Amino acid sequence: MKSLVLASGNPGKKAELEQLLAPFGTRVITQVELGISEAEEPHDSFLENALAKARHVCFATRLPALADDSGLCVDALGGAPGVQAAFYAGSEGNRTERDARNNRKLLTELAPYADRSAHYECVLVLMRGPGDTQPLVAQAQWHGAIARLPRGHGGFGYDSLFLPQGLTQTAAELAPTEKNRLSHRGQALAKLFELLQQESA
């Protein structure tokens, strides 16, 4: 696949996917670069939201579209922020401002609890074209815990608070190649590649 449209305007997601797809020579274009508005995400599941975003972009561009719906699920908070992860503390401001507010709210909400276990979840949906009635779906989780204070300057979202299982560094302290190897998005993309290879075999 020479190029695909990413159903997102998130520059962090684009950067991660570009690195993951670099060995295949696939060009990643965001829907924002093509002037396409973001799709509504009214659903209660990552899968339904990812499907909605992929369909929206694929029908608008007539090009292959990759949608990612992902979020942080914290056990003590009943799985919150979950599908609302990006707007956990409201939709005002730019992405950096929202991330900072979301992180502050998460630490406040989690303060009374001893259990800080959490996981990132990612669902990827690839629609090959507007006539694709069976889009490819891949899902993965990245388990860990929530740190008591943010650390690191890499990544985006909740990465500065997320301590991957078995590591002492937060996701924001990991080198990009290491994060991509371990992350929910990296794992889901690897599964998506397997599905594509099975199709072409």
Q: 68 by DSSP, 3-state: which?
A: strand
Given the residues 69, 75, 99, 159, select the one marked as catalytic.
69
Length of the chain measured in residues: 201
Whole-angstrom distance, CA of residue 37 vs CA of residue 35? 7
Q: Three-state SS across 125-148? A: EEECCCCCCCCEEEEEEEEEEECC
**Residue 69 annotated to the active site:** yes
11-21 and 184-200 are packed helices; what angle lies between their axes, rounded to 10 degrees? 50
Backbone Cα Rg of the chain: 17
Q: What is the number of other CB atoms lying within 10 angstroms of the CB of residue 198?
A: 9
- Give the full edge-to-edge strand order of the sheet including 27-30: 27-30, 3-6, 65-74, 117-127, 136-146, 162-164
Residue closest to 162 by CA, chosen among 110, 123, 125, 124: 110
Amino acid at 84: Q
Active site residues: 69
